[in-house]
Amino acid sequence: MSRRHLSASPSPRPAKRAKIEHLTKEDFKNGLFLAPMVRSGALPTRLFALTHGATLVWGPEIVDKAILHGTRNVDPTTGVVSYDGKSRAIFTTHPIEKPYLIYQIGSSDPELAVQAAKTVMQDVSGIDLNCGCPKPFSTHSGMGAALLSNPDLLCSILTALRDAMPPEITVSAKIRLLQTQEETLKLVERIVNTGVSALTVHCRTRNMRDRDVATIERLREIKEFVDGMGRGIAVIENGDCLGFEDAKRVKEVTGADSVMIARAAEANPSCFSPTPLVDVGETLMPDYLRLSKYLGNHWALTKFCVSQFKGAHVKTTKRIENDVRGQVVNSKGYEHLGAIIGEATGEEVFQEIVKAIEGRLPRGHVQEEESEGGLVTPSNTQNPEPPTLKAPRISDFSRLMPAMITGQDPLTPTPSMIVF
C-alpha cells in the first residue's frame, strides 16, 4: 500500500495587526496631555506634542455654530482633514492623530453642541465641553466660564452629548474652580453624574489669570471626592505644570490621575519628553516651519506659534533663536523663509512624525483578533526607536502611554494666548 504523501507545512501566516480599541475612562489616567489652546493648539503643535510623548491632545476650542458652517475637505496629497469656512479653515486634523485627539466645543446650547459633535465625530476620539474660558468672546454668549454659573445648562449639554454620541466617543468637561470648595464639589458631583469619562480642573477661578499662581492644592479633595463616587472618572490637573519632570510634583501634591500642560507646551511642544528639545532655533523652529508648510497650516497661525517657542541653550546662543524668530515674524509667508526651510518640502518631517506616532502602542488597549490559527495577541515588546527629528523622544512605547505626564505651564506668558 502506497504511503500517503504529506505536503510540507505551509509557512505560518503573519499575525493580524492588533486592533486598537476606542478610548475608555482608563485612557485618561496616568497621562500627560496637551491643553486646548486657541491658535497655539494648531495641528503641527499637536503632532509635535504626540511625537515627543503627549498621551492625548486637545484641539483648540471651536464654537458650535462655527463648525456647523464649515465644509469638510480632505487634501489628497497630505491627508489633512480641513473644516473650511469662507476665508480659512475652522479646524484641521489628520488621521494619524485621531486615536489621541479630543475635540473641544464651546457651547451654551445642548442641541447645537450635539450637532457640532456629530459634525466632527468621524475625525476625533472624544468630545470635551469648555466650561472654563473667561474671555468675553466666550462668556458673553453663555459659553465657557459662564457655564460655571449655570450648572443646569452645563449638565444638560453634557447629558445631551453623552446620549447622542456612540460609546466609542468619550465625553468630558474642563472647568475652573469656583470661589469656595463646597460650591466646586457640588458642581463636580453633578458633572460626574452626567456620565463623563474624565474631568479636567483648571486650578484657577474664573477671575484669576495666568500670572496668578494656580491653587493646585485644592484639587486633592476634589480628586478624593470623585473617587468616593465610585465611577472611575479620571481627574486631570491643569495649571502651573512645567513639563514631564514637574508633572511628578503636581501629581504628588494633587493626587490627580493625569496632568495637562498649556504654556510650557506653547513654549516648547517637546516638554512632554523627559529630555525636551534644547536649542529650539535649530532643533524645532525649522522643522516646525517645514511641517506647517507641507500641511498647509495657515501662515498667521504658524507665525504666532513659532514666535512663542523658547528653550534652553546648550550648543547655540539665544541670538540664533532670536534671529530665526525675527525672520519668521517679519515674513509674509513661507515663500520668504528659504534660508530657514531650505529646499525641503516638509514631507520628510511629516513621515518621521508618522513613524514616531505609529511606533508606539497607542493607549495599551489592544483587542485580540481572530486568525486561522486562533486568537493572536500582539506581544508587548519594545518598539524600535523612531527617527529622531533631531530630538529625543519617549522610548518606552510599549507602555500604555507616557506614565508621568500632564499639567499646564507658567512659561513665557502670552497675553494673546487663550488657555481654557
367 exposure class (CB count in 10 Å sphere: 0-12, 13-18, 19+): exposed
pLDDT tens string for the chain (420 positions)? 434 343 343 444 433 433 456 899 999 999 999 999 999 999 999 999 999 999 999 999 999 999 999 999 999 999 999 999 998 999 999 999 999 999 999 999 999 999 999 999 999 999 999 999 998 888 889 999 999 999 999 999 999 999 999 999 999 999 999 999 999 999 999 999 999 999 999 999 999 988 999 999 999 999 999 999 999 999 999 999 999 999 999 999 999 999 999 999 999 999 999 999 999 999 999 999 999 999 999 999 999 999 999 999 999 999 999 999 999 999 999 999 999 998 888 999 999 999 999 987 655 433 333 333 333 333 333 333 333 344 333 333 333 333 333 333 333 333 334 445
- Edge to edge, the sheet with strand 71-74 lists 71-74, 81-84, 89-93
Closest CA to 50 of 34, 67, 68, 69: 34
Q: Which amino acid is at 381?
A: T
> Which residue of the set 133, 155, 271, 305 is catalytic?
133
Beta strand 71-74 with 81-84: parallel, antiparallel or unpaired?
A: antiparallel
Question: What is the pTM for the complete model shown?
Answer: 0.83
**Count of CA atoms in the C-beta half-sphere (13 A) of 109:** 8
Beta bridge partners of 202: 176, 238
Angle of helix 219-228 relative to helix 244-254, nearest 10 degrees?
70
Q: Helix, strand, coil proportions of the chain in percent (round to 5)?
A: 40, 15, 45
Identify the pLDDT of residue 21.
61
Q: How far apart are CA 208 and CA 241, in angstroms?
A: 16
- pLDDT, tens only, 304-361: 999 999 999 999 999 999 999 999 999 999 999 999 998 888 999 999 999 999 987 6
Residue ranges of alpha helices (H) inside 270-345 are 280-283, 285-295, 299-308, 318-329, 338-341
Q: How far apart are CA 350 and CA 48, in angstroms?
A: 10
Q: How far apart are CA 326 and CA 319, in angstroms?
A: 10
Identify the pLDDT of residue 361.
62
Q: Which amino acid is at 156?
A: S
Considering only CA atoms, give the Rg of the chain: 22
The answer to whether 133 is a known catalytic residue is yes
Q: How far apart are CA 95 and CA 236, in angstroms?
A: 25
187 exposure class (CB count in 10 Å sphere: 0-12, 13-18, 19+): buried
- pLDDT, tens only, 267-305: 999 999 999 999 999 999 999 999 999 999 999 999 999
Kindly state the cell numbers that stand for 106: 464651546
State the CB neighbour count (10 A cutoff) for residue 301: 22
